[in-house]
A and B are shown apart, each in its own frame.
Chain A
Amino acid sequence: QQQVKQSPQSLIVQKGGISIINCAYENTAFDYFPWYQQFPGKGPALLIAIRPDVSEKKEGRFTISFNKSAKQFSLHIMDSQPGDSATYFCAATSGGYQKVTFGTGTKLQVIP
């Protein structure tokens, strides 16, 4: 059962452009939504996260938009840079110990 659906599977963006990755979830018990960035050969690293009582969170060039009623959330990367080229995972957690349910990932390539 795919509890967190992510799209697109891959994305190519010009340097300076906006990268947008979308996710949707089914389980209404999810109460925390982190995004992870993963470079080849490395483990995922937390990028930014949001709680469902907030509609938007911004950290530098990264913004999460959250729509609780639609059970959807998205990551926007402003002024995308070649160094942002990586695989991005949306995720969701529930319960007291943060068992993380990951999306399928989006491979982002930022071309100069």
Chain B
Amino acid sequence: GAGVSQTPSNKVTEKGKYVELRCDPISGHTALYWYRQSLGQGPEFLIYFQGTGAADDSGLPNDRFFAVRPEGSVSTLKIQRTERGDSAVYLCASSLRSGRGETQYFGPGTRLLVL
């Protein structure tokens, strides 16, 4: 079946602009995660959704970052007043359930470049 999809695959924006990144999880997966991967580094946790609610947003770097999952499926990561340091690959993952041992399936990521 279809995996996790993310759009756009690439996004170039200017400093100070607003961007939205979309994630379509695997159908039926209740848990959804956002990670950020800087060049040459491992992914870093941003936020986790169980259903529609953000169960843990402790990884969001500051209040310019916000994410929603209004119907418990598609999620959007929103970044306001983008900065050059926001440039990274933003990865989305989903799992059937939350819990130890549940496999997280990652999408290909959105490559964000802030000029």
Binding site for B on A (CB under 8 A): 4, 6, 31-32, 41-46, 49, 51, 89, 91, 93, 96-105
* Residues in B whose Cβ lies below 8 Å from that of A100: 33, 35, 43, 45, 104
Are A101 and B31 in touch, CB under 8 angstroms? no
Q: Are A97 and B48 neighbours in the complex by a CB distance under 8 Å?
A: yes
How many residue pairs, one in A and one in B, have C-beta atoms under 8 Å apart? 68
Chain B residues within 8 Å of A, Cβ to Cβ: 4, 31, 33, 35, 40-45, 48, 50, 55-56, 59, 91, 93, 95, 98-109
Known: A43-B109, A44-B43, A97-B50. A32 touches B104 (CB 8 A): no
Q: Are A97 and B31 in contact (CB under 8 A)?
A: yes
Give the most central of B44, B56, B59, B99: most A CB within 10 Å: B99
Given known contacts A43-B108, A97-B31, A49 and B98 CB-to-CB distance under 8 angstroms: no
Whether the pair B45, A43 counts as a contact (CB closer than 8 A) is no
A102 to B: closest C-beta gap in Å: 3
List of A residues within 8 angstroms of B106 by Cβ: 43-45
Determine if B48 and A31 form an interchain contact, defined as CB atoms under 8 angstroms apart.
no
Separation of A32 and B99 alpha carbons in the complex (Å): 10
- A104 and B42 contact, CB distance less than 8 A: yes
Q: A41-B108, A43-B93, A105-B41 are in contact. Are A97 and B101 (CB under 8 A)?
A: no
Which residue of B42, B55, B93, B109 is within 8 Å of A103 (Cβ)?
B42
Given A46-B103, A103-B42, A98 contacting B98 (CB threshold 8 A): yes
In order of increasing CB-CB distance, the 7 nearest A-B pairs are: A43-B106, A102-B42, A97-B98, A32-B100, A89-B42, A44-B106, A46-B103
Q: Is the CB of B4 within 8 A of A98?
A: no
The distance from the CB of B43 to the nearest CB of chain A, in whole angstroms, is 5
Distance of A93 Cα from B107 Cα, bound (Å): 19
